[in-house]
Amino acid sequence: MIKPHQSKQKKYKLAAKTLAPLLLLTSTCQYLQAKEPTNNIQVEALATQVEADVIKWRRHFHQHPELSNREFETAKTIATYLKSLGLEVKTGIAKTGVVAILDSGKPGPVVALRADIDGLPVTENVNLPFASTVKSTYNGQSVGVMHACGHDTHIAMLMGAAKILTSMKDKLHGKVKFIFQPAEEGAPEGETGGAEVMVKEGVLSAPNVDVIFGLHISSGKEVGTVHYRSGGIMAAVDPFKIVVKGKQSHGAYPWNSVDPIVTSAQIIMGLQTIVSREVELIDSAAVVTIGMIHGGTRSNIIPNEVELVGTIRTLNPEIRKHIHQSVHNKATSIAKSMNAQAVVTLPLDYSYPITFNNEKLMAEMLPVLQATAGVTNTQVTNPVTGAEDFSFFQEKVPGLYLFVGGRAKDMPASKAPDHHTPEFQIDESGMKLGVKLLTNLTLDYMSNHH
């Protein structure tokens, strides 16, 4: 077990058990107070009016996807529309990002809303009249391009929210910053991109952002539902590489070698005990996976070295720190015990923090989710070991990341297509709720913090 963290975990569990009924009562009371917010009826009507546009925008972006750091036409379309709303628009942020500011002219907080805009190197296999037939080059390979994770819907929903909030400018206090982020799926080899670069370039300043909201459509969750979680909702991701260095010899005379292949096998098995024997999994999940092994040139030659490449996924900052140290300790110690050497590079090339929903903000905004989607349609979700670079924004300012249902009501959950696959698809009726959520979260936060 992770001894230094154990006492903290026990205290956390005790506090959680003690406070859970109070938190539930508090959120219920807050919901009753916010059941019919002043703007709810107006937002509902405006969301209904803009829904056809949202669907039209989504279909355009779906038919014309662009890869990470290559979203040039996507950015132009977004910027042109935002300028038509009279917003202050900046382009070229983190290469292809677009940021627009809506200034109410009144004092108040700065609320940021974010959508990711890039597609994936996936060839679409869905029979839609607006299916993508785009081809491009990704890391030197010819690939099909598809919005196989729903970023097209994210763009359209945020554009819809921008239209509504602009029309309700008299209700606002402060400023809204609309962030259309490139390269969420990761920049091509040799490049940087995404939320981390946007933050470094100052997207959360001038004006300084007080809070940020983002959402992700889910092909597996039913339309009309919103799914939330306080604390870690998506995992940190840390790729790593271990180079095991030995001594080459003829395969017929292994006693003359220091075998990096056998050593690597022992290291791989040792790494599996980190999660199974050192992490208290009832608190939060963790994953240590080796995905690539490179070593050797012939069947009868024991090579000088072997390269292992893997990924770590964690949902708890203390567990993340522990696993990083344990990977290093196990790899180097096992190698030493076999007269080899292990060189660990962690993180390897990129690293995403935990997508962490600020607990205080989540408690404050839960009644807004319930008032917008309905209590039964507002559901706590389990955390997932997938990662999201929205986490870079949340490292700097309090933020919430939510999942919105995109599965048709008549489709069994077992038949829902996975994200990042050629068969990925969503029910467009789910986008209206996303538009309303982005709008109501902004209005409510401004109303309570000006």
- The owner of tokens 């916010």 is 34
For 145, the 3-state DSSP assignment is coil
Residues in the chain: 450
Buried b (16+ CB within 10 A) or exposed e, 229-239: bbebbbbbbbb
At position 174, the amino acid (one-letter code) is: G
Residues 103/207, Cβ–Cβ less than 8 Å: no
- 8 Å CB contact between 108 and 172: yes
- Cβ atoms within 10 A of the Cβ of 287, count? 17
**Which two tokens mark 201?**
């370039």
Scanning 149-291, the segments in alpha helix (DSSP H) are 151-167, 195-200, 260-278
Enumerate the H helices of 309-430 as residue ranges.
317-337, 359-373, 391-396
The active-site residue out of 81, 352, 401, 445 is: 352
Cβ proximity of 66 and 73 under 8 Å: yes
Contact 391, 238 (CB under 8 A): no
401: left (phi over 0), alpha (psi -120 to 50) or beta: beta
Q: For this structure, is 12 an active site residue?
A: no
Scanning the structure block, which residue is given the tokens 């996936």?
122
Query: Catalytic annotation on 352?
Result: yes
Give residues with Cβ within 8 angstroms of 241, minimum separation 6: 307, 308, 309, 310, 344, 345, 346, 348
Phi, psi values for residue 16, rounded to 5°: -60, -45
> Of 124, 196, 364, 428, which one is the catalytic site residue?
428
- Euclidean distance between CA atoms 242 and 244, whole angstroms: 6
- Neighbouring CB atoms inside 10 A of 414's CB total 6
Q: Which residues carry out catalysis?
A: 352, 428
